[in-house]
Every structure is written in C-alpha cells, then in structure tokens.
C-alpha cells in the first residue's frame, strides 16, 4: 500500500481511535508496538506547525518518529485523512479553557473568540483543516460544550445557541484566514506594508482623480494612515467582533422582551 493511499477511511474505526483513551483496551497479538498513536499524532502536529499542512505525509511523519511509512498505518490505518482528524482533536483536547462563569455574556463570548484566534495563531493549519464534519472526539466535544456555556442565560433556543456559536467562530476563522494570508504575503517580500504603499503613492497621485473617486481617496488615505497599510488583522478583528456582539445583543434583547 503506497504512502497516503489508504484503502479507505472507516468512520467507526476513526471514532474508536479518537476515543481510544476512554475505551477498554483490546487484546493485541504479535510483537509489542514500539510507538503509540499519540506519538504519531504529536509528530504530525509538530510538522504542521513548523512547515504547514502540506508537509504532513505518511512518509514525513514516519521519518519524524523513526519508522517506516508502512508502519504508520499500524497506528493510523486511514492514512493522512484519518491522521488529520486525530491532530485536530488532540489540539482541542490540550486547549486551555479558563472559567467563564463570573464574566458578563459579551466578555464570555469574546473570551471564546480570543481562544479560537489564539489556536489559529499557534496552529495555522487548523484554518485549512476545518470541516463541516468535525472529528467527534473528546477534544471537539469538550470544546463545543465549553463554548456553548458562554451563551448560558441568554434565553436562546438550542438551535439558536448552535447558530450563534457558529456565527462567532465563523467570523474568527475568516479573520484568521485573512491574517494568515497577509502574513504569508509579508514573508515573501522585503517591503513592509508602509514601504509598499510609499512605492505606489507617486503613480497613484497621478492616475487617481480625487474628484472622480472622492470616497475611495478619502477613506483609503485615512484607513491606510491609521493601519499602516490597506489591511490590519487586529483592527479588523476588534471592529468585527464588536459588530458580532452587537448583533447577538439585539437577538438577546428580543428574546428577553418576547411575550
């Protein structure tokens, strides 16, 4: 079986792997394994953190743990796709979850947004690994339970709770993706954003007529001066999260005032 070409991912087997620490150990036959699934997953996470998700292959993980590519399938039979699910859940298992109970609802939701943003910063590959079918392991379930608690006492229905959380996390993921794109662009050029705009200023002043594009000229100049460039992830995050919270605030008020 060639590396990264497993026979197929079995959802039931993957779920058992995700919950392996909670299940009764099954008797094994044959020689004792020299590695554990945790060691394989840890090696894959380290590779993804350092070199990106494309660097994670059965062959590269095997090299990192000092074994053969075929041996990796002993621990992760489904290959890279199954390994990715284990990686995501492992990151979520280890995430810190500070107490939220004493905070107001806006601060609770901002706290979970900030925690997710920090996860994306620490593990940028998570942005690419997000899926509409999340791995239903202990990390994902614990994260979901914890984040839903941020909405306690707001009078939302269960469907609204799920949608509200999806709304918040969707914004955070979009901001993290834009921030990663900006960082990747910055790493490929020797110019800072400020220097890049200075290089454009001379030509733009000759070709862009402020009387024809008054809003673009005025707002662009103001934003560029304030942010040091066309885009600033921190500014976009702060502004966007305030609007997300404002929008949720309107829903909360409607539920409180409902007859």
Annotated domain spans of the chain: 11-21+35-94, 105-188+229-256
Residue 193 has pLDDT above 80, yes or no: no
Distance in angstroms (rounded) separating the CA atoms of residues 176 and 118: 9
Q: In sequence order, what are the residues at sequence separation of 6 or more whose Cβ sits closer than 8 angstroms to the Cβ of residue 113?
A: 168, 169, 171, 172, 241, 244
With contact defined as beta carbons under 8 Å apart, do 213 and 207 qualify? no
Residue 197 has pLDDT above 90, yes or no: no
Which is higher by pLDDT, 70 or 209? 70
CA distances from 163 to 92, 123, 176, 224, 225 (A): 20, 25, 20, 34, 37
CATH number of 105-188+229-256: 1.10.357.10
- Lowest model confidence (mean pLDDT) among 107-116, 117-126, 231-240: 231-240
Which is higher by pLDDT, 135 or 168? 168
Tell me: domain 11-21+35-94, CATH 1.10.10.60, correct?
yes
Distance in angstroms (rounded) separating the CA atoms of residues 14 and 153: 35
pTM of the complete model: 0.85
Q: Which of 78, 81, 58, 80 is nearest to 68 (CA)?
A: 58
Distance in angstroms (rounded) separating the CA atoms of residues 40 and 145: 27
- Total Cβ atoms within 10 A of residue 190: 6
Distance in angstroms (rounded) separating the CA atoms of residues 37 and 246: 44
Q: Which of 120, 136, 116, 137 is nearest to 49 (CA)?
A: 120
Distance of CA 217 to the CA centre of its chain: 35
């Amino acid at each position: 079986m060639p590396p990264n070409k497993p026979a197929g991912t079995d959802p039931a087997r993957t779920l058992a792997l995700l919950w392996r620490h909670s299940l009764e150990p099954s008797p094994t036959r044959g020689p004792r394994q020299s590695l554990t699934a945790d060691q394989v997953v840890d090696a894959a996470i380290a590779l993804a953190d350092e070199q990106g998700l494309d660097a994670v292959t059965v062959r590269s993980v095997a090299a990192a743990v000092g074994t053969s590519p075929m041996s990796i399938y002993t621990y992760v039979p489904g290959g890279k796709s199954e390994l990715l699910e284990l990686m995501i859940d492992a990151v979520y298992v280890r995430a810190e979850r500070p107490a939220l109970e004493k905070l107001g609802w806006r601060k609770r939701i901002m706290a979970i947004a900030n925690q997710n943003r920090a996860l994306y910063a620490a593990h940028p590959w998570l942005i690419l690994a997000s899926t509409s079918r999340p791995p239903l392991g202990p990390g994902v379930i614990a994260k979901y339970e914890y984040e839903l608690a941020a909405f306690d006492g707001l009078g939302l229905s269960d469907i609204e709770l799920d949608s509200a959380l999806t709304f918040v996390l969707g914004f955070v993921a979009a901001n993290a993706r834009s921030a990663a794109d900006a960082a990747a662009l910055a790493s490929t050029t020797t110019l800072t954003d400020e220097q890049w705009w200075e290089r454009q200023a001379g030509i733009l002043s000759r070709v862009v007529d402020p009387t024809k594009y008054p809003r673009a000229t005025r707002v662009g100049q103001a934003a560029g001066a304030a942010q040091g460039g066309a885009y600033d992830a921190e500014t976009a995050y702060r502004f966007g999260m305030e609007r997300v919270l404002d929008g949720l605030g309107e829903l909360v008020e409607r539920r409180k005032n409902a007859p």
